[in-house]
Structures are given as structure tokens and as C-alpha cells.
Chains A and B, each alone.
Chain A
Amino acid sequence: MIVTMARRLLIQLLRGIAVVAGVVTLTFVLLRLAPGDPAERLLGPAATAEQVAAQRAELGLDEPLPAQYAAWVARVARGDWGTSIATGRPVRELIGAAWPATVRLVGLSLLLSYLIGIVIGAIQAARGGTALDTALSVTTVTLFAMPGYWLGLVLVMVFAYGLRALPAFGAAGLDADFLSPGARFVDSLRHLALPLATLTLIGIGGTARFVRASMLELRRAPFITVAESKGIDGRRILFQHVLRNALIPVVTLLGLSLPALFSGAVFVEAIFAWPGVGRVLVEGVQARDYPVVMAATSISAILVVAGNLLAELGAARVDPRLRSSEAG
């Protein structure tokens, strides 16, 4: 049994590597097909054709595509992500500086939205059909339907412009460097509040709806009827039988929501000028900064594959049926 599980994980891993390679190759080709040239953008409109050609040669852009691709792969294999064309800084440094901001935002919102979402969904399922259930349903479906960039704008309108309670953009105030450690921490929390609330509120809507639906469906399952007819306490049935089984698809959903959250973060980072990977990516695409876009895309593809792998592992952990050999 353990052998088959290990084998399936190995297959998943190989498939994941193939996916990453495919994504990276596709991005490479699409980037080069797109009009606009980093050398031209770097030198500006006043540059002569000779200057552009010289710059292209310096950047290695005059080589044939397969040679450029091979060179990129060889460099990355050695751990060198290249130098940003637009800023002249090493890509590793650029991404390294942006990475913590995105992880803080996405990680916290993932945690909060799943915790709160599961609790709300479970309450709704336990009180199915009551006024409370209806009220929560209306709330979650509305949250679920809100585009992140619009909810972000509304929150800015209310909390930043209306109440003047929270900052509207950035990850730290202009005076952050001069504050005491405690005050700096409070300042960073205040800046985190609105983007985090935006991503989390939307996430709660989706999770709560999902948990409620799968719990209500499970309550009609034959094994629940059996448990009820054995006289097991209703609360125990709800938590030990229904909720536990309802969490299986939630684990899968968690793995699948990683890339969506990453995309969502691109919009939210744009609204709140959050200095994360999403913003580096959008700026990279606009500047045709090939090394930066390639690195950001590779990382997001790796993230997706890792999310899928974790979802598979997690689902096998909570659902023994998936560990059996025939399931594959």
C-alpha cells in the first residue's frame, strides 16, 4: 500500500516537472513573439539603429531562439536567474525583495479565509434552513461575487478616504525607518489591513459556500442515516462524521486555490501598490524585461505544482480510500 502511494507520488512529481518545463517554454516563446524589444525600451526613442543592435548583442538577444533558450536553462540550472534588463539589478535580488511581501499577504489570507470559511460553513450546515443560514448565505454569495479590485476600491473609499482610519497603499509608511520597532510593527499591520481584508473576504465567501454544500450533501449519505439510527449524538455526528468527510474536498480545494490566489494577488497588489511578486511581474511584462518575467512565471508554476502535490498528499492523509491501490 505504501509502495503504491510512493509510486503515485513519484509519477505526480515527474508530471509536475514536465508541467513546469512546459509552462516555462511556452512563456519563453510567447515573450519573444510579443512585439516590443527590451533593448529599444532601455535606450529610449532617441537611440540609433546601431546603438540598439549593439545593445541587443550585449544582452545576447541576437542569438537564435533555441540558443537563447538553452543558455537561459543552463544559467538557471546553476542557480543564476540573470540580470533584470530594465533595472540592471540581479533578478534573484528583485524577486527576493518582493517575495516576503506576497507570502505574507497570500499566506495570511489563505489561513484566515479557510479558518473563518470552514467555521461559517459548518455553522450554516448545522443550522440549515434557518434565518441565520439564509443571512449567512446571502453574505457569502455576495462576497464570493465581488471582484477583488472592486472590493479593494470600496474598502479604500470607506476606510482610507471616508473614515481616514487606514492607509490606502504601500506596505509601510514614509516615516517607517524612523519609528521604534513596536511602532513600525503597528505601521506594517495597518498597511496590511486593507489588502489582507480584500483577499480574505473573497476567500471566505468561496470556502464557506463549499463547506456548507458538501456538509449538507453528506448529511443525506447512508452512513449518516446509520449513525443516526444507532442513536449517536447529533453534535458528534456533525463533527466526527460529516465535517471530517466534508474536509476531504476542501483539502483539494486548498491546493487548487494557490494559483488563483496568486492571480488574485496580482490585481490586489496593483490596487494597493503592494510591493510583491505580482507587481514585479506586471512591471516586467510592461518593460519586456525577459529575465524577470521568466523567473516570476517559473516560480508561480512551481508553486502550482507544489500545491497540487500537497493537495494529493493531504487528501490521502484524510481519506484512506485514496491510499488503496485500485484508486489509481
Chain B
Amino acid sequence: MRALLRDGRARFGLAVLLGMTLLAICAPLVSTIGPTEQRDVVVTRFLAPFTTDVHGVLHPLGTDRLGRDVWARLVHGARISLGVGALAILISTALGIGIGAIAGVWRGGIRAALLGLTDFALALPRVVLLLLLAALWRPSALLVVIVLGLTGWMSVARLVYAESRSLMARPFVDGALALGAAKGRVLTRHIVPNAVTPALVAAALGFGNAIMLEAGLSFLGIGVQPPAASWGSMIASGRDTLVNAPWVALAPGVALVLVVVAATLVGDAVQDWRGA
């Protein structure tokens, strides 16, 4: 862990993720006004960043077309974006490691079935599925977590499977098998611990991806429902006011890019650290 912290990328990435998490947790403390609070819409809408409105409230990132404070919505939206991303990636990483490693160790029917399942899941048009599911059930954060978790494990599974296959061809696995180790033991003692690095790396990337997709769903209006703030719905609402109030769409986008970059850098650092 200390070696990992010596890496500048990891320090930056972890600092951003930690800072954003803290902001999300302390959202009511760091914002002067509620995320959905509206006063006199006519005089408080489209205020530029760093202006104080007629009520004496400072808006560090300005206001949107309903006069809501963009900074307050940003930090409250972070709760949803980060929470959904973390939960979704927990589900998909666990599924991916399990499926990938089992398919790598056992040949024959089990492998064919699991690889078939992975191919099948990969071939599902994710966006269509999301559109259909959102039409089936009332859109909610929980639905987004489940759908993203269940449709995001394939890349982890593929990487873990490839790693397991190459590990199975290594002499130390042959040795363990020749000494009479059961396949279950090989799986848990030799394959999973060695295959966990690509899974971690994929998880870090997947975290960023899940956050992006959550925002994408909210952007299309089938994710988190208004008036609750989510980065995606904030970008969507800022889309119509790009010309006269660009900060409404820019602020959540920058936050989103920052978090995804941070997650990616942490993933890179973990990869190099384990590979070194």
C-alpha cells in the first residue's frame, strides 16, 4: 500500500475520489442552500458563477434555469453518482471473478456454458435493454444499480478467464495438480489470487464506466428522476441553456470526468504496482 502511494497517479486518483466522497457525505454542510430549493425564480435564475443573489446567498457555480444552486446540486448529485457506481461495480466484479475463474479452471461443458453465457451477455444490446427495463419498471437508483451490475461483469470475466487460462498452463499449477490438489483448491489458492489484478484494474475502469452510464441514463431521462440531482440529469437540463448559461452543463461534466480520470489512474497504478 505504501508502495502504491509513492505513485503520483495513485495519490492524485485516491485524493480526488476521497475528496469527492467527503463532499458527497457532507453535502448539506458544504452547501449554503438546498439542492432543490427555489426562491424567486425570475431574479435568481441563470446567475453566473460567484454571484450573490438578492437574498444574499452566494452561488459558487451559479444557478440553473429554475434558480437552483448548481454547487448544491453537484455535491448532492455526487451521492447518487458515486453510490450507484460503487454498488454496481461490486456486483459486477464479484460475478466476473467467479465466472471467469471457474471457466478458466474447468474444461468441457462448464467452460462452454460459462463462455456461452458471457458471449450472450456481451451480445445483448445494453442500451436497448436499459431502455426496455426502464419502460418496464419505474426508473430508480436501485434499478440502475442492478442493471449496471448485471450487464457489466463480462469484461472482468473475460480478463480473469484469459489470465486463468495462462495461469493453468504454468508449471506451478501443473505441479499442484500433479501433487494431487483438487481443482477447487487450485481455483481458490492459485488462480483467483493471481487473477485478481486484472479484475481490480477492470473494476477501477468499470467504476468510471458505471458512473458514466448512470449519468447517461439520467441524461436520457430514464435514470434518477427529477427533482433529485444527478450529474447526468444536470447535464441534460443544461443542454437547452448551453448558449446563455454554459456552466449548468459544464460543472457536472467536469466533476464526472474528474472522477472517471481518478478511478482510471488508480487502476493504472494498481496494475503497474502488481506487475512490478
Contacts and interface: CB of A to CB of B under 8 A. Distances in A.
Interface of A: 15-16, 18-20, 22-23, 26-27, 30-31, 33-36, 141-142, 144-147, 149-150, 153-154, 156-157, 161, 213, 217, 256, 259, 262-263, 266-267, 270, 281-282, 285, 293, 296-297, 300-301, 304-305, 308
B249 A308 contact: no
Given A35-B135, A141-B265, A145-B260, A153 B125 contact: no
Contacts of B158: 256
Given A19-B123, A308-B119, A154 B132 contact: no
Interface in B123-139: 123-129, 131-133, 135-136
Nearest to B252: A150
A304 to B, nearest CB: 4
A30 B135 CA distance: 10
Nearest to B133: A30
A293 B128 contact: yes
Contact of B264 (A26, A31, A145, A150): A145
In this complex, the member of B212, B216, B243, B249 whose beta carbon has the largest number of chain A beta carbons within 10 angstroms is B216
B235 A153 contact: yes
A149 B128 contact: no
Contacts, number: 118
Could you say which interface size class chain B belongs to?
35 or more
B126 A146 contact: no
Contact of B242 (A19, A142, A153, A213): A153
Interface in B242-263: 242-243, 246, 249-250, 253, 256-257, 260-261
A259 B242 CA distance: 30
Given A157-B246, A267-B216, A262 B125 contact: yes
Given A30-B133, A153-B235, A22 B120 contact: yes
A268 to B, nearest CB: 11
Given A20-B123, A34-B132, A142-B257, A147 B216 contact: yes
Nearest to B154: A256
